Structure 1
Amino acid sequence: MHTMWKGSISFGLVNIPVKLHSATESKDIKLRQLHKECQNPIKYEKVCPVCDREVEKEEIVSAFEYTKNKFVMLEKEEMESIKEEKTDKSVEIIDFVKLEEIDPIYFDRSYYLSPNEGGSKAYSLLREALNESGKIGLAKIMIRSKEQLAVVRIYKNTLVMETIHYPDEVRDVEEVPSVPEADQVAKKELDTAKLLIDQLTTEFKPEKYTDDYRTALLELIEKKKAGEDIATAKETPTKPDNVTDLMSALEASLEKTSKEKSTKTKTTKKKTTKKKPAKAN
């Protein structure tokens, strides 16, 4: 399993060397967009609408738009200095809480934690302490230039770190439109709904749930491959830069040179054929 981060978990004076691994992966089928006429992938370019040209990476700077078309530009060095101040390779557990006190709306991404060299004993200690206490650790960590709030808990004998949203990142539920204030349900309807829930209640077995759309799409792709209903991208032709402008310039230059040469020839001819003045007797 790929290690994406190395550091430590700390709580009190205990320090546990750990490695971080992504606990989940996207199974989305990534589709490319082709030009229907020639079956070549579409290219996306970063273009400045004012300069009307593609912008190179080194020409791009970061900025915050605080109001429409008004920006605060941020230099790379300024952002790096803040990042360096916060980039402490540690998961610092600041509190211990009960898992049920955190609503699932706060949870974001999951990562497995494994002990790094020399960390097995301390890893086992934290795992057993969490298990015995029934608590989870609430921590802070820097991931990809962002300070994250996270929880450390146990999942099938392995420590798991799950990033969670800060309170100001969760939108106010009061802003949700058209939510009825009072219950408008008849008792008979409620009893029937509860009976239906009871009939559909089962033990959660994640392996029985599958992505039917993804399965059907993969089957369609394989069927098309087998029937050779495929598109092959053509080799991108090499074009000289600004070939039209260059040809126009060359033709204009040739025409100008021809005119100048023609004018010069006529002038020389006139001077040659000009009558000499008659000599005096």
Structure 2
Amino acid sequence: MASRAIWKGQLRLSLVSIPIEIHSARNSGSRVSFRQIHGPSGKPVHYQKVVQGVGPVENEEILKGYETDDGDYILLEKDEIDAIRLETKKTFELVQFVDATEIAPIWFDRPYYVVPTDELAEDAYRVVRDALRKSGKAGLGQLTMRGKEYLCAIRPCGDGLLMETLHYEQDIRSADPLFSGIEDDAADEELLDVATQLIEKKTAPFDASAFEDHYAAALRDLIDRKMKSKKTPRASVGDREGRPEAENVVDLMDALKKSLKDSKGKSTRSSRSRKKAS
């Protein structure tokens, strides 16, 4: 199935703007997934948005609420949130560059492929890619997608560019409370020498294809065997027309995706002031 862009806009480097698309680099379809089934009836389990004392509610009746310290909720309309004007909704500007190896793994979140939208954009795209490759740098900037502004790093990846969302400083828990109890004494020299030799012996170039998700493979094997067995319990969804309408029974993931999609608003230019990445 063809990849669908999750963000379209401009990659900006100083006065140069390059039309780009961003695609997820993760293949979510490779994982084994399950659907919850009601055992007694054999029917799929759905999720409803329910208010205590009211019952199921429609999406258009739902507001976003921010809980205060007093336990009250500050209610926000969708239009009020959409009116927040961020340049990063349509522009991913590279505002700083760092050594590609300087960003510790703990900061990385999710990978995305960045591609030019058309042939006219490819020349400038290649210049940025090759400049990053030659300098050994990663570019830093911010962009807004799915209702959230992300800190991002971009660097060469094969013939293209890879963007990785990064955690903000406040998102990472300090390790000091967990590591402070570990003694800082030097390791036994003989044990250290053996461990170092073992590491060197097992050192090889990274190749992701050398590793297999054994749990997923075992699940698929179990499913295959169950499918071949006539003794396996089965559930039939029955007549599709008998299923509840989507507006009344909402799958949780579909509802979240729709909410994120609906939260996108029009983009206009805003202040360029940003905190310097640290």
Normalised by the shorter chain, which TM-score bucket? 0.7 to 0.9
**Where in structure 2 are the equivalents of 1:133-144 lying within 5 Å?**
133-144=135-146
Q: CA deviation at 1:103?
A: 0.4
Q: Secondary structure at the match of 1:101?
A: coil
Q: Secondary structure at the match of 2:43?
A: coil
CA contact (8 A) 1:150 1:161 kept: yes
Structure 2: which 5+ runs fail to align? 243-278
**Where in structure 2 are the equivalents of 1:86-235 lying within 5 Å?**
86=87, 88-117=89-118, 118-176=120-178, 179-183=181-185, 185-228=187-230, 229-233=232-236, 235=238
Does residue 81 (structure 1) correspond to residue 50 (structure 2)? The answer is no
Q: 1:38 to 1:191 in 2, by over 3 A?
A: same
The aligned counterpart of 1:69 is: 71
Quote the Cα distance in structure 2 between the aligned partners of 1:234 and 1:2. Answer: 30
Q: CA deviation at 1:159?
A: 1.0
The aligned counterpart of 1:9 is: 11
Q: What is the one-letter code of the residue matched to 2:4?
A: H
The aligned counterpart of 1:31 is: 34
Quote the Cα distance in structure 2 between the aligned partners of 1:47 and 1:145. Answer: 23
Q: 1:234 to 1:135 in 2, by over 3 A?
A: closer
Q: CA deviation at 1:87?
A: 5.1
Q: Note the alpha carbon deviations across 1:225-273, whole angstroms, 9 max, x for none.
A: 12242412354897xxxxxxxxxxxxxxxxxxxxxxxxxxxxxxxxxxx
Q: Identity of aligned pairs, percent? A: 35
Quote the Cα distance in structure 2 between the aligned partners of 1:212 and 1:55. Answer: 42
Does residue 47 (structure 1) correspond to residue 50 (structure 2)? The answer is yes
Quote the Cα distance in structure 2 between the aligned partners of 1:139 and 1:225. Answer: 49
Q: CA deviation at 1:200?
A: 2.1
Q: Note the alpha carbon deviations across 1:40-69, whole angstroms, 9 max, x for none.
A: 1123222222x1422222222111123363
CA contact (8 A) 2:89 2:145 kept: no
Q: 1:87 to 1:128 in 2, by over 3 A?
A: closer
> Higher mean Cα deviation, 173-182 or 15-24?
173-182
Q: What is the one-letter code of the residue matched to 1:107?
A: F
> Higher mean Cα deviation, 65-74 or 31-40?
65-74
Q: So what's the TM-score if we normalise by structure 2?
A: 0.78
The structure 1 segments of at least 4 consecutive aligned residues displaced by more than 3 Å after TM superposition are 84-88, 234-238
Structure 1: which 5+ runs fail to align? 239-281
Quote the Cα distance in structure 2 between the aligned partners of 1:28 and 1:67. Answer: 40
Quote the Cα distance in structure 2 between the aligned partners of 1:69 and 1:231. Answer: 46
Q: What is the one-letter code of the residue matched to 1:142?
A: T
Q: What is the one-letter code of the residue matched to 1:38?
A: S
CA contact (8 A) 2:49 2:57 kept: yes
Quote the Cα distance in structure 1 between the aligned partners of 2:185 and 2:145. Answer: 44
Q: CA deviation at 1:177?
A: 6.2
Query: In angstroms, what is the RMSD of aligned CA positions?
Result: 2.2
Quote the Cα distance in structure 1 between the aligned partners of 2:186 and 2:228. Answer: 56
Q: Secondary structure at the match of 1:119?
A: helix
CA contact (8 A) 1:38 1:233 kept: no
Quote the Cα distance in structure 2 between the aligned partners of 1:143 and 1:130. Answer: 24
> Which is higher, the Rg of structure 1 or of structure 2?
1
CA contact (8 A) 2:25 2:112 kept: yes
